[in-house]
Structure 1
Amino acid sequence: MNLTALITLLIYALIIVGVGYWAARKSKSEEAFLLGNRELGPIVAGLAYAASSSSAWVLLGFSGFVYAVGISALWMVPGILIGYAAVWLFAGPVLRKASTQNGNLTLTDFLLEGSGRRTGQAIRAAASLMIAFCFAYYVASQFQGAGIALDGLFGTGLTGGVLIGAIVILAYTFFGGFLAVSIINTLQGMLIAVVAVVLPLLAFLAVGGLDGLLLAAGQQGSAEYHSTFFDISGGRTGWLATGFIVGLFATGFGALGQPHLTAWIMAIKDAKSRVIGAGVALVWGLAVYTGMAILGIAARVIIGPDVAAESVFFQLSELLLPSILSGIVIAATLSAIMSTVDSLLLVSGAALGHDLGVFRKLNINSVLGYRLGILLVCIAAAVVTVSFPATIFDRTLFAWIALGASFGPTVVVRAMGLKPAGLAVLLSIVLGFTFSLLFEFVLDAGPGGVWSRIIPWLFALLPFLLIKELKKHS
């Protein structure tokens, strides 16, 4: 298995680095490097969006969450899918129109439209620093997944695995920009979908199909199973159950504030492609999240409740697949991780280079500045990964919630046809981010924490209600 995985990874690494160098020739301008000249078709945009929204989060994190918590974790899936639809179909028309008409290259450009010079500068600074901070955590979660996989295969240690994964990802993103990321994420999205269907199907058959799962559900009070595993509310009742369900469901709405996801909408070539792309992303999301939910439940039956949650994907790969295929699956997992990291790094480079203008002030060429920003965030994420232990699920969840609450309310207000005052946007960003930090580092709300999903959004929406300068688009 190790030899197969090594050969697969080497071939894969050569291909994606080659794509990066090829795309570098077509990524000379700012628009080309950050948005691929806004020429993406629906299949590429839909698959790349879906792959970059999930990665290690769904293959390792979500499957492990279902394995650890039980079927109550499934309340997250409809929220995720509705979040997909909201980005593409609700906010998508305004995002794409504004991007095309006003030359927006980043979500931050979109957020500060209509703001005065001083307020606009403050929004740029606040948004850029928040993106860099959150994406250092977000990228760290993906690096951790790469480190775990490489260490399990080749004994590299977590630090060695993180460094290897970071170097490969950096190589093609640094040079190829958005075009390279789009092509590679499309291929990775296809690969993830195949693995997320085939492996859960094998696991489902291994437990005896639906009859086997129902039998296990009937034994949930035994020593093998926690009594709450097959309970739809995880054993909670009343308001606690309601809060847990709402908290998981509301996770999906964080998609509205993710800069690396809105970039795919801004880059798509026309309105028809956007609608078709939405369908592609939703079908992918339904298949992959359903597959990982089945995998997590089946893993509880096959291997019991006492293994590390985020290792069940790898363990079932080794148990259910021939060694040669198991190596390919683990290589696919690493590709899934890369499919999020590359888009995160690209947006981070744009935040530091374009939005904050750090390198422009040093008279550094804009595209070179974006590349230096990518390098800085990549280094910071590697340091976070090895220095501050956390699960993949928790790291990703924090970044997702914080960015969603910081930028999502403004996107929603704009999508409703309203044009908020710059001060309202600035206050919304600051309040959403501040309360997200409070819940993450002080109150420790956890994956089912309803208030960590709702309160930051409520406070972030408050400035739009208090500042009476909302105007209809002309």
Structure 2
Amino acid sequence: MSDVFFVVLGVYVAIIMGIAIWSYFRTETEVDFLAAGRSIGPIVGGAVLAATQISAGTFVGTAGRHYLAGVSWVFPWLGLWTGWLVCAFFVAPKLRRLGALTVPDYISARYGSPKAGALAGILIVVAYTIYLVAQFQAGGEIAEVVFGIRPLTAMLIIVASTALYTLLGGVRSSSYIDFLQTLIMVAALIVAVPVLLNQVGGGSPVAAVERSLDFLDTLDDRLVGWYYSPRELLAFAIAFGLSIAAAPYELTRFYSMRDERTVRKAIFVAIGFQVVIATSIMSIGMLMRVLFPNLPSQDQATATMALHVLPPVVGALLLVAMLSAIMSTVNSILLVTGARVAHDLYGKFIRPDASQQHLVN
């Protein structure tokens, strides 16, 4: 498994570094670096939005929640997609119409106060620096399960590689790499679920269902019905929906798209990608509960499947997909926090006379 994984990983790294170098030679101005020259179309844009939201939490935490809570955890997904629709019709058009480069730019213009934008920039930097910790932790856990290496070592590798391609090409390289990463995630999950279903049912979907039903009789009633109360599920759905409708690392991506119409189309493309991913993750969580009912932690479900259930090539592809999910989110957060520091704080308050080349570098 390790040899196959390293081959797949090597090809993946070579491709993303090629994209980063190509983007570097097409990035000359601050608009190029922070908004890809406002050239991103709906397909790539939708993949970017999906990849940015699909993080380590999806492959590790969400699959674990479905392992623990069954189908009832679908409600946060429904809340998430509702948030996307709110964003498509009410939030995104206003943000894109202004033609800003960052969310603090919009806040400064909306309230006529550069200080309000600066405060928003500081809050975003602090909040997303904390959020990065969860991504690094997930990457460390995956590396520990797969290779037995120290989590800290894995975290440093993820930070270094992601920071490199982020710094080289900015949003342009990030967008096309996120497009690639979304395709990898979707392909890996589409291939993995039938293989897992075959393992559960011994080749027959009917047998898989029968085995699953027999297993359900041995479980706590909450695992086959509502693990959480309806009030708790509604709260989760609202929280996920509101968070995606106002997430700076998603909203910033709108500025790189061609126009308002492109943004709306991209959001619906993102929902399409996420429906496939959500259905697959839900299936993985519940089927792994049948195959491995006593995992030490529900968060190990996906990594255990990749190592012990899937064929080596498919397992390697899934592990690279998990790595892609982590890197795409880390990359977006690095862009958000870096832009806040360089554009919203340094470029406006510390060195307002700085040249475009100076800000990009």
Q: Same fold (TM over 0.5)?
A: yes
TM value normalised by structure 2: 0.91
For the structure 1 residues 212 and 11, does the alpha-carbon distance in structure 2 shift closer, same or farther, using more than 3 Å as the test? Answer: closer
Distance 2:5 2:42 in 1: 32
Deviation of 1:205 (Å): 3.4
Q: What's the CA shift string for 1:367-402, capped at 9, x where partnerless?
A: 65566xxxxxxxxxxxxxxxxxxxxxxxxxxxxxxx
Matches of residues 32-51 of structure 1 in structure 2 within 5 Å? 32-51=32-51
Deviation of 1:328 (Å): 2.6
| Pick aligned residue for 1:269 from 258, 261, 265 | 258
| Pick aligned residue for 1:244 from 232, 257, 265 | 232
- The residue that corresponds to 1:179 in the other structure is 172
| Pick aligned residue for 2:242 from 225, 235, 253 | 253
Q: 2:129 matched to 1:136?
A: yes
| Pick aligned residue for 2:302 from 302, 313, 326 | 313
Deviation of 1:202 (Å): 2.3
Distance 1:345 1:125 in 2: 18
| Pick aligned residue for 1:158 from 151, 157, 167 | 151
Q: What's the CA shift string for 1:271-300, capped at 9, x where partnerless?
A: 432333222111101110111011111111
Retained in 2: the 8 A contact 1:39–1:269? yes
Deviation of 1:248 (Å): 1.7
Indicate the RMSD between aligned Cα atoms, in angstroms.
2.3
Q: 2:77 matched to 1:109?
A: no
For the structure 1 residues 116 and 47, does the alpha-carbon distance in structure 2 shift closer, same or farther, using more than 3 Å as the test? Answer: closer
Q: 2:192 matched to 1:227?
A: no
Distance 1:229 1:311 in 2: 18
For the structure 1 residues 161 and 41, does the alpha-carbon distance in structure 2 shift closer, same or farther, using more than 3 Å as the test? Answer: same
Retained in 2: the 8 A contact 1:107–1:259? yes
| Pick aligned residue for 1:334 from 319, 323, 333 | 323
Q: Which amino acid aligns with 2:329?
A: T
Distance 2:359 2:299 in 1: 36
Q: Which amino acid aligns with 1:206?
A: Q
- The residue that corresponds to 2:194 in the other structure is 201
Deviation of 1:365 (Å): 5.5
Retained in 1: the 8 A contact 2:79–2:241? yes
Q: Which moved more, 1:289-298 or 1:85-94?
A: 85-94
Q: What's the CA shift string for 1:429-456, capped at 9, x where partnerless?
A: xxxxxxxxxxxxxxxxxxxxxxxxxxxx
Q: What's the CA shift string for 1:171-195, capped at 9, x where partnerless?
A: 1101210000011000101111111
Retained in 1: the 8 A contact 2:295–2:301? no
Retained in 1: the 8 A contact 2:146–2:307? no
For the structure 1 residues 230 and 41, does the alpha-carbon distance in structure 2 shift closer, same or farther, using more than 3 Å as the test? Answer: same
Distance 1:174 1:155 in 2: 30
Structure 1: 5+ residue stretches without partners: 372-474
Q: 2:58 matched to 1:70?
A: no
Distance 1:358 1:171 in 2: 22
Distance 1:359 1:125 in 2: 9
- The residue that corresponds to 1:322 in the other structure is 311
TM value normalised by structure 1: 0.70
Retained in 2: the 8 A contact 1:128–1:351? yes
Q: Which moved more, 1:278-287 or 1:213-222?
A: 213-222
* Higher RCO (C-alpha 8 Å, min separation 6): 2
For the structure 1 residues 270 and 163, does the alpha-carbon distance in structure 2 shift closer, same or farther, using more than 3 Å as the test? Answer: same
Distance 1:307 1:40 in 2: 43
Retained in 2: the 8 A contact 1:359–1:369? no
Deviation of 1:132 (Å): 1.2
Q: 2:29 matched to 1:29?
A: yes
Deviation of 1:219 (Å): 4.8
Q: Which amino acid aligns with 2:232?
A: F
Deviation of 1:211 (Å): 6.2
Q: Which moved more, 1:204-213 or 1:194-203?
A: 204-213
Distance 1:13 1:125 in 2: 36
Q: Which amino acid aligns with 1:244?
A: E
Deviation of 1:217 (Å): 4.7
Distance 1:247 1:206 in 2: 35
Distance 2:173 2:272 in 1: 24
Retained in 2: the 8 A contact 1:39–1:268? yes
Deviation of 1:261 (Å): 0.7
Q: What's the CA shift string for 1:92-119, capped at 9, x where partnerless?
A: 22221122xxxx11011112324244xx
Structure 1 outlier segments of 4+, above 6 Å: none
- The residue that corresponds to 1:148 in the other structure is 141
| Pick aligned residue for 1:349 from 338, 341, 349 | 338
Q: Which amino acid aligns with 1:152?
A: V
| SS class of match (1:28) | coil
Distance 1:150 1:128 in 2: 33
Q: Which moved more, 1:55-64 or 1:147-156?
A: 147-156
Retained in 1: the 8 A contact 2:132–2:330? yes
Q: Which amino acid aligns with 1:298?
A: L
Q: Which moved more, 1:311-320 or 1:198-207?
A: 198-207
Q: Which amino acid aligns with 1:126?
A: L
* Identity across matched positions, percent: 24
